[in-house]
Amino acid sequence: MYTYNDFDTKAVRDRVAQFRAQVARRIDGSLTEDEFKPLRLMNGLYLQLHAYMLRVAIPYGTLNSRQMRQLAMIGDRWDRGYGHFTTRQNIQFNWPKLQDVPDMLDALADVGMHAIQTSGNTIRNVTADHFAGAAADELLDPRPVAELLRQWSTDHPEFQFLPRKFKIAVTGAPNDRAVTKAHDIGLRMVERDGVTGVEVIIGGGLGRTPMIGKVVRDFLPLEDLLPYVEAIVSVYNILGRRDNKYKARIKITVHEHGIEEMRSRIETRFQEIRPDFKGVDQELLAQIRTHFEPPAWLSLDQSDFDKAYASNPVFRSWCDTNLADHRNPDYAIVTVSVKKHGAVPGDATGDQMRALADIAETFAHDELRISHVQNVILPHVPKAHLFQVWQALRDADLATANIGLVSDIIACPGMDYCALATARSIPVAQQISTRFEELKAEHDVGPLQIKISGCINACGHHHVAHIGILGLDRAGAESYQITLGGDATETAAVGQRAGPGFSADDIVPAIERLVLGYLDLRDDPSEDFLTAFRRLGPEPFQALLYPDAQTAA
């Protein structure tokens, strides 16, 4: 993985020193709150409902054990003993005190991390496929490109005051695990005539106006990537609306101007700036690639794994649910569920983070990933080590076998933390996962993505969930709207609203009716929820949600 050079180290240390002085000036009254607020946001520091919140960037979700241990230490020392993994592959600390934040940032800098551009109208943390460099279906590791974009976009002087925040995702595999079509820019590695290039998608996004991104270039040579991305952001910077923050994202720019005009403007700008890119970016990319060489693969005797798999049904269930195919057949990709039934999606205690660091260091080539689904990935685990990994995860209360199932829910922090939220998200997720654990039904139900947002900003990705839940405020009471048929993958789709909202007391029984009812609607157990929805349309699912309306009709 990428290791900071002297320049990176100095840039991050300088930034911490600068922010330390800004905090001191705020506390001594030299800076007003209006002056300070944009400065703290540029360093990832928000003010939430009951406390500050520090959002730390985890570039393309990649961590080593040393960094994970440091996150645990920061949580224990300056927060309340836990951190929250987010849908942008970041981590948030929910209870820092203002005067401690510079020390927290220095502690991050100690391990090559920071909180720069985790807020504000800038290019945010670039996300990538959490199986990058490990997946069996991968064409090209997307992380070097993501790292190049990180370096280019960090403190880029032209792009510090964009019309609105700007999010980029990269995947190197045809199976899109990075939700590229719901990003301002989505980059997908594709192959043409034996050459790898990039499909460039723009104008995707969630929020109050969900849009699926449109292809602006179906095949871009890799060496043109940086100038082309710069051309896109440059055009958006000029054309994007600044008169209305709800119409400021590039998805609205694309919608209002049309993809043809956008393409024309982008291509023109690209032709203008392309000559300025004289190959330094390609030299840098080549240098970055050396940081992402695969580990020295081990070839180990797997008989212990085979025996444990055959004899231990709990281990077998975990393997069947939480493992994915690795590019090396002697290895597996382990997804560690941070979604124990009834627990808070994405919350990990300091002890759990240290356990994950130990496991990664001992058994898995010292690599960890955070997924946008709010789980932790061990990307390179020799199959020979899987039983020991599972035992260690079980000891840390991290061995829940539910990846991709009903209880593997994305939930934004919602009204329990967020000042913008209009309803709670986390308790709904907890109740759903607890209920389906009681029913012992989720393995029978099979692949199903439930995603919950506590307001229209859609941080919980509800629009692209098979079952989306949006929490709203209706005359002072929480009301939960359900959407059906959303899809976050390469066949991306925005879910359709099912009907009237449900109260906080009624939402979990409604989800139970919907999911258990699907079991009777599917053709056979191999037809997953989304496939059944696409075959049948919304009506039979609406009948499950609103049985009284059907009776009345």
Cβ-proximal residues to 201 (8 Å cutoff; 6+ apart), any chain: 180, 181, 183, 185, 186, 187, 188, 213, 214, 215, 216
Establish if 476 lies at the interface with another protein (CB under 8 A). yes
What is the DSSP pairing of strand 195-202 with strand 323-325? unpaired
33 binds another protein (CB under 8 A): yes
Q: What is the C-alpha to C-alpha distance for residues 286 and 295, in angstroms, rounded to an integer?
A: 18
Residue nearer to another protein on the CB measure, 151 or 430 = 430
Which span (213-221, 241-249, 305-313, 418-426) binds another protein, by CB under 8 A? Answer: 418-426
Among 5, 10, 38, 50, binds another protein (CB under 8 A): 50
Between residue 65 and residue 124, which ones bind another protein under the rule CB under 8 A? 80-82, 95-99
d(CA 129, CA 508): 31
483 in contact with another protein (CB under 8 A): no
Of residues 80 and 394, the one with the C-beta less far from another protein: 80
**C-alpha dihedral over 327, 402, 470, 49, to 10 degrees?**
-100
Strands (E), 100-222: 127-128, 168-171, 185-192, 195-202, 214-221
DSSP structure class, residue 135: B
Please identify, using beta-carbon distances, which residue of 184 and 478 lies nearer to another protein. Answer: 478
Q: Does 427 bind another protein (CB under 8 A)?
A: yes
DSSP secondary-structure letter at 123?
B
Shortest reach from residue 524's CB to another protein, in Å = 37
Q: Is 32 in the site for another protein (CB under 8 A)?
A: yes
Q: With contacts defined by CB under 8 A, how many residues of the chain interact with another protein?
A: 38
Report, in Å, the least distance between residue 426 CB and another protein. Answer: 5
Enumerate the β-bridge partners of residue 223. Answer: none
| Among 4, 13, 52, 175, contact with another protein (rule: CB under 8 A) | 52
Tokens found for residue 437: 């654990």
For residue 271, give the 3-state DSSP assignment: helix
Which residue of 248, 334, 343, 514 would you call a contact of another protein, by CB under 8 A?
343
Question: Taking contact as CB under 8 A, which single stretch among the options 111-119, 163-171, 379-387, 422-430 is the one that binds another protein?
Answer: 422-430
Cβ-based nearer residue to another protein, 52 or 297: 52
Could you identify the residue written with the tokens 């593997």? 408
CB of 90 to another protein, least distance (A): 19
When the beta carbons of 28 and 524 are compared against another protein, the nearer one is 28
**CB under 8 A, 24+ apart: contacts of 91-95:** 91/55, 91/56, 91/58, 91/370, 92/53, 92/54, 92/55, 92/56, 92/413, 93/53, 93/54, 93/56, 94/48, 94/51, 94/53, 94/413, 94/417, 95/51, 95/52
> In 3-state terms, what secondary structure has residue 267?
helix
Query: Applying CB under 8 A, which of residues 72, 178, 344, 508 lies at the interface with another protein?
Result: 344
Least Å distance between CB 345 and another protein?
A: 11
Question: Looking at 10, 14, 24, 27, which residue binds another protein (CB under 8 A)?
Answer: 27
* 354 binding another protein? (CB under 8 A): no
Kind and range of the H or E run holding 275: none
| Position among 118, 430, 449, 479 found at the interface with another protein (CB under 8 A) | 430
Residues forming the site for another protein (CB under 8 A) = 26-27, 29, 32-33, 47-52, 80-82, 95-99, 342-344, 347, 349, 415-417, 419, 421-424, 426-427, 430, 476-478
